[in-house]
Amino acid sequence: MNKISLLLFIMIGCIKLSYANTVTPITDFNSKQYLGTWYEIARLPNRFENKCTVPITANYSINPDNQNQLIVVNQCNTKDINPNIATGVAYFIESANIGKLKVTFLPKWLRWLPFGYGDYWVLYTDYDTVAVIGSPDHEYLWILARSNDLKRDILEKALLVAKNQGFGTDKLIFNYKYKGEQLPEESQIQ
């Protein structure tokens, strides 16, 4: 019985590891084109956005103190209409043209700690309209857009990118309706 349990445990672990390996960031990332404001269109549920209401935005700029880092300013309203603003820094894990970044919103004086950093992988972007951001463990996913009125066909393309990389798009929280259209159902995403 113990051998069967051990074999089953190893098989499940291998499946989980292979699943995590399916997340692939873009390899032609251009941080200068990515700069500016993005609206959160959809996300997987996460604890740090539980109280957020639309609009939810992220603004990226070059860190004047370190040209290899981006300043990230996330902002949303809360249910009591008070703005929630978090300022952090993102840095490239490998090189500036690979969309693998680490992000922290820890205060500057705590950023030396070995924890408090999250994976921020750019899985797809056309820079002008939409971006798909995820984490290699499939825990986090965001669909961002330059405005809050993303067209349905562009949304469906972003959802397909996420689905093809192993993300459960059926659990997404959508922040906006798209030009009065019904949001695509999981079964409609090819």
Residue 34 lies in domain? 22-171
**The whole model's pTM is what?**
0.82
Amino acid code (one letter) for 186: E
Element (H, E) at 158: helix 152-164
15 assigned to some structural domain: no
Band the pLDDT of 187: cuts 50, 70, 90: very low
Distance CA 101, CA 58 (A): 15
pLDDT (0 to 100) of residue 112: 87
Beta-strand pair 66-78/83-92: antiparallel
Domain assignment of residue 9, yes or no: no
| CATH code, domain with 26 | 2.40.128.20
Domain count for the chain, please give it: 1
Residue 31 inside a domain? The answer is yes
**Mean pLDDT in residue range 67-82:** 90
In a domain, 11, yes or no: no
Sign for the CA dihedral angle at 165, 167, 168, 169 comes to: negative
Model pLDDT, residue 178? 57
Assess if residue 190 is contained within a domain. Answer: no
Q: What are 91-122's pLDDT values in tens digits?
A: 999 989 999 999 999 998 998 898 999 999 99
Query: Does the residue 186 lie in any domain?
Result: no
The answer to whether residue 92 sits within a structural domain is: yes
pLDDT at 90 over 70: yes
- CA distances (Å), 130 to each of 21, 22, 82, 113, 125, in order? 24, 21, 27, 33, 6
Decide if pLDDT at 47 tops 50: yes
**Residue 104 domain-assigned?**
yes
